Amino acid sequence: MSWSDLPDELHRAVASILGSDVISASNQHHGFSPGSADRVITIDGYRAFVKAVHYGRNAYAAELHRREARVLAALPQSVHAPRLLHFHESDEWVALVLEDIDGGHPGAARDGSDISAVIDALASLPTVRGSSLRDLPNAADELAGEADGWAQLRRDNSTNDLPEWVRASFDRLEAAASTVASAARGDFLVHLDCRADNVLIDPGGTAWIIDWPWASVGARWLDGACYLLDARRRQESFDADGVLEAHPLFAGVSDEAINSVLAALAGGFFHKASQPALPNMPTLRAFQRSEAIAAADWLHDRWVGAA
């Protein structure tokens, strides 16, 4: 969807929030939301980012917008994230009006040149101890659910569609994933959906983390590992294990902890990819399978390298 697809009611609400009518809207095509996502400019020259979804199109996406609004309202100023300007909800629509971050998604050059900026931004995420964010979901629980994907694949008799090496190593992968809850435990703010389409690099080279509905509490390094996985999935030219060894974000993190997260993500994504497509989200299952294969392949490389 784009700005022009939204009803006049929503156009008027955004104009009221921003102080004047929107005269220009640039649709943002990245990501998987069935709603709209537009950078807008008003008559007065004010810039904002607006994303909206209709309940009838996807009620689950509407709930994710609500969750993100609650998270953004509670984020401390130190977090490199867009500020929530307003949350709008009517009988049919949910919309977030956000600060517009001047920047583009990382990884376009496919040379790994943006990775340090992204990992640095993730390393700045704070602890949630004593803050209003302490009631966020637990990342350990979320990833334990992903790890159960291996058992669900077996129960559904869906293993025939897995890559050959994954089928051959199924038991080892499931065992590695089974320890993810202890690996993911921590008291830091975690984005838990950190990939290139959820990051912007501004003209000064600073990374900004966007799209926060999955925010959780967990180990400080989780987002960094997830971003490296996504960069591998997009076939950027860089040494992911070299980043794990060199960047302070991963200091003291064991190989077993990294492996357990990769195994859990692989199992969760393989299981999700085996399910029917969601309404109005036709590309999601293929993306999930690509993430699963990337996680499994990285884990295979790590195991072969350690042998």
Number of domains forming the structure of the chain: 2
- Out of 98, 127, 147, a domain closes at 98
Same structural domain, 94 and 124: no
Q: Is residue 181 part of a domain?
A: yes
Same structural domain, 135 and 55: no
Cα 142 to the center of its chain, rounded Å: 13
What pLDDT is stored for residue 130 in this prediction? 79
Q: What is the CATH number of the domain that holds 18?
A: 3.30.200.20
What pLDDT is stored for residue 31 in this prediction? 58
29 pLDDT tier (thresholds 50, 70, 90): low
What pLDDT is stored for residue 11 in this prediction? 95
Q: Which of 43, 24, 47, 27 is nearest to 35 (CA)?
A: 27
Same structural domain, 119 and 94: no
User: Taking residues 15-42, what's their average pLDDT?
Assistant: 86
What pLDDT is stored for residue 57 in this prediction? 76
d(CA 211, CA 72) in angstroms, rounded, equals 9
Q: What is the CATH number of the domain that holds 148?
A: 3.90.1200.10
Q: Which of 180, 190, 198, 200 is nearest to 140 (CA)?
A: 180
Residues spanned by the domain of 164:
115-306
Same structural domain, 79 and 123: no
d(CA 73, CA 61) in angstroms, rounded, equals 18
d(CA 16, CA 18) in angstroms, rounded, equals 6
- Out of 46, 65, 98, a domain closes at 98
Token reading at 69: 């609004």
Tell me the one-letter amino acid at 214: W
Please state at what angle helix 222-233 crosses helix 284-306, rounded to 10 degrees: 100
Same structural domain, 120 and 85: no
Q: Is residue 197 part of a domain?
A: yes
What pLDDT is stored for residue 196 in this prediction? 95
Same structural domain, 149 and 244: yes
46: left (phi over 0), alpha (psi -120 to 50) or beta: beta
Same structural domain, 146 and 80: no
What pLDDT is stored for residue 277 in this prediction? 87
Same structural domain, 10 and 41: yes
Reported as a single tens digit per residue, the pLDDT across 211-245 is 999 999 999 999 999 999 999 999 999 999 999 99
Q: What is the mean pLDDT of the chain?
A: 93
Q: Is residue 28 part of a domain?
A: yes
Partners of 190 in beta bridges: 216
Q: Is residue 244 part of a domain?
A: yes
- Out of 35, 68, 98, a domain closes at 98
Same structural domain, 146 and 290: yes
Looking up tokens 């501004």, which residue turns up? 202
The pTM for the full model equals 0.92
Reported as a single tens digit per residue, the pLDDT across 254-305 is 999 999 999 999 999 999 999 998 776 778 899 999 999 999 999 999 999 8
d(CA 48, CA 39) in angstroms, rounded, equals 6
Same structural domain, 131 and 162: yes
d(CA 44, CA 26) in angstroms, rounded, equals 17
Q: Is residue 146 part of a domain?
A: yes
Q: Is residue 107 part of a domain?
A: no
User: Taking residues 111-140, what's their average pLDDT?
Assistant: 93
Same structural domain, 17 and 158: no
Q: Is residue 172 part of a domain?
A: yes
Same structural domain, 33 and 94: yes
Q: Is residue 287 part of a domain?
A: yes
